[in-house]
Structure 1
């Protein structure tokens, strides 16, 4: 495991394997991989296993607002690890971490902040 992934491990409390994410979303593992390629989800390899933060999936679907935020972060040049670190690091002005705001249906403000970082 790389150092970049190790610090993400401490930020993200709960992870899903590729297979668990596929079951939670009621799709095939290959479809989950496509979601990752399309910036609808993010995943990291840890000890040879692809894992997705459990916070990205709720009620059988990708959390509303997450794909748009991931696209903005990718367009800003964020790597997967940088995007995960940003999403799960607390921001007192939100309050909470950006992923918490997205889950609470406050994704517009999160995307606005992500876009501002690109300027």
Structure 2
């Protein structure tokens, strides 16, 4: 694991394997892989398997506003590690981390900040 991996892991906290994420979403692990490919979720390799942040799934669904935010970050040129770092780093102007704002249904504020970074 790289130093960057450790930093991301300390920001993200809990991870779900593809199987665990699939169970939480009531879909197949292959569908979770498709969601990662479509920027609806982010996944990274840890200890030989793909994992996704547990915070991205709540109440049996992907957090509202997350797919649009992840697509926006990808369109802005963010790599997966950069997007994860941004999503979980506290921002005093929100307040809290962008993922916390999405969970609190403040997605518009999060996307505005993401769009501003593109310019």
**Superposition TM-score, scaled by structure 2 size:** 0.98
How big is the shift at 1:80? Answer: 0.3
What are the residue-to-residue correspondences of 1:31-42 with 2, within 5 Å?
31-42=31-42
How big is the shift at 1:2? Answer: 2.5
For these two proteins, the number of residue pairs brought into alignment is 119
What are the residue-to-residue correspondences of 1:21-60 with 2, within 5 Å?
21-60=21-60
- Is residue 2:71 matched to residue 1:71? yes
What is the match of residue 112 of structure 1? 112
- CA root-mean-square deviation: 0.7
The runs of at least 4 aligned residues of structure 1 exceeding 6 Å deviation read: none
CA contact (8 A) 1:5 1:44 kept: no
CA distance in 2, matches of 1:60, 1:101: 19
What is the match of residue 98 of structure 2? 98
CA distance in 2, matches of 1:67, 1:6: 24
CA contact (8 A) 1:90 1:96 kept: yes
Question: Which runs of 5 or more structure 1 residues have no equivalent in the other structure?
Answer: none
Question: Which runs of 5 or more structure 2 residues have no equivalent in the other structure?
Answer: none
